[in-house]
Structure 1
Amino acid sequence: MRNLFFLIHLLAVSLASIAQPADSATYLTDVKNELITVWPKNRTINLVFHGHSVPAGYWHNHEVHTLESYPNLLLATLKERYPYAVINVIVTAIGGENSIKGQTRFESDVLVHKPDVLFIDYALNDRFADIGKVREAWEKMIKAAQAKKIPVILLTPSPDQRLNILDNKNPLEPYAEQIRTLSGQYHTGLADPYEQFKVVAKRGNLTNYMSHVNHPNRAGHALIVDELLKWFRK
């Protein structure tokens, strides 16, 4: 009986270790090697950002601050770190869209760009859709990317100030947790700005990071960038 319990324990530990997000130190090793390659041996690296209004750069009053959105702020920082790299930022995000709709155009609008790294950010809008159908949409996108050996980084949501993100029963919580689960299940990269925005909220200054009720300002986008940069450390 003792041996049985020991085997069950080993199995549980093994399963726990399997269901983990990718290791940020090694997940993008091939991409980082390309980023340090010098002409004429270098090539263009495509970073593709798929999602809703936040990666698209929407602020208040429907203004689109492309250069202050996290895809382009990430580009600026990566260029400081990788001066020899040719990096394309490709944003396939559409304001107001959720993952169920985004998945239907995944092959035609996303995979066509041959991403070297793919970022998916839909949870802020997904909370209005059935969580089971949302999971199915994320899984289809993840599997389609992995079938082409494309590294995927999943993002948890940025805030909506109409919700108390410090309340674990708020509508975003199960969607954020589902993203973490999917990342572990499929061993993708995980960026968790949702947790970092909680830290900001605990300090009582969340509004300093928001341009609008549900759109980050430059500081908010910079917070998201900080979560993404850990995947690009040399």
Structure 2
Amino acid sequence: MKLLILLFLALSLGANAQQADSVTYLANIKQELTIQWPKNRTINLVFHGHSVPAGFWHDHEVHTLESYPNLLLAKLKKQYPYAVINVIVTAIGGENAIKGQTRFEQDVLVHKPDVLFIDYALNDRFSDIGKVKEAWSSMIQSALAHNIPVILLTPSPDQRLNILDAQNPLEPHVQQIHQLAEQYHIGLADPYPRFKQIAKRGELTNYMSHVNHPNKAGHEIIADEILKWFTK
């Protein structure tokens, strides 16, 4: 009987596991973004990850204003003209989630995010996927313990990989990110399928500034996927 009860509970938890609802998940934040001075406050959007959110392009150039955190800011300001929004990028080029987790409290939580975005998959493929999951889970749990909504990002492409091949090294991480969003009932911004569609058309180079760094057009795709969570 005890075994049956445990099985029932496991199945129930599995059935309830799903990503957050994009309409309701950030409802409080979206409402705050509409408030006018003097009753409004600064909303902090924190982007934690590797070189892509940091804005790296080719030849180590950093195109901050053409990277998706700031492109998102421009899009949000069109929707929310009265909002005061801080875009805070804690990303470091070359870093993976395992390293990013170690500095999470001192570099991320200190900014008191109103929404946290995590983008590490592109670099995580070089590390043990189990340890990567532990790092993502630790950051998610820490954020949720502070009542911070979290949106996970699937990766942008690396042109050295065939992202149309289901066996490419990014695929397990993409699936794991989906699973984490479902497990913790948090947000998911999913540009990866968009980039796969572009790759099918043979147009991927038009969206890349470098072998593994998007150009502005590529960053626009990522920003548009995040923007869905802020639509009124």
Rounded to whole Å, the distance in 1 between the matches of 2:66 and 2:28 is: 28
Normalising by structure 1, we get a TM-score of 0.94
Whether 1:34 aligns to 2:28 is no
Rounded to whole Å, the distance in 2 between the matches of 1:150 and 1:183 is: 14
Q: Following TM superposition, by how much is the alpha carbon of 1:98 offset from its aligned partner in structure 2, in angstroms? A: 0.2
Q: CA-to-partner distance for each residue in 1:179-221, whole Å, 9 max, x for gaps?
A: 0000000011001111110011111100000000000000000
Runs of 4+ that moved beyond 6 A: none
Rounded to whole Å, the distance in 1 between the matches of 2:159 and 2:180 is: 26
| DSSP 3-state at the match of 1:89 | strand
Rounded to whole Å, the distance in 1 between the matches of 2:47 and 2:89 is: 5
Which amino acid letter does the alignment assign opposite residue 32 of structure 1? Answer: K
Q: CA-to-partner distance for each residue in 1:24-52, whole Å, 9 max, x for gaps?
A: 00000010011000111100000000000
Q: Following TM superposition, by how much is the alpha carbon of 1:84 offset from its aligned partner in structure 2, in angstroms? A: 0.2
58, 61, 64: which one aligns with 1:60: 58
* Paired position in structure 2 for 1:212: 210
Whether 1:45 aligns to 2:28 is no
**Pairwise CA RMSD:** 1.5
Whether 1:128 aligns to 2:126 is yes
Q: Following TM superposition, by how much is the alpha carbon of 1:230 offset from its aligned partner in structure 2, in angstroms? A: 0.7
* Paired position in structure 2 for 1:149: 147
16, 19, 22: which one aligns with 1:21: 19
Rounded to whole Å, the distance in 2 between the matches of 1:15 and 1:207 is: 42
92, 96, 117: which one aligns with 1:98: 96
* Paired position in structure 1 for 2:182: 184
Rounded to whole Å, the distance in 1 between the matches of 2:139 and 2:73 is: 23
Whether 1:167 aligns to 2:151 is no
- Give the aligned length: 227
Unaligned 5+ residue runs, structure 1?
none
Q: Calculate percent identity across the aligned residue pairs.
A: 77
Unaligned 5+ residue runs, structure 2?
none
| DSSP 3-state at the match of 1:22 | coil
105, 112, 116: which one aligns with 1:114: 112
Q: Following TM superposition, by how much is the alpha carbon of 1:19 offset from its aligned partner in structure 2, in angstroms? A: 1.1
| DSSP 3-state at the match of 2:220 | helix
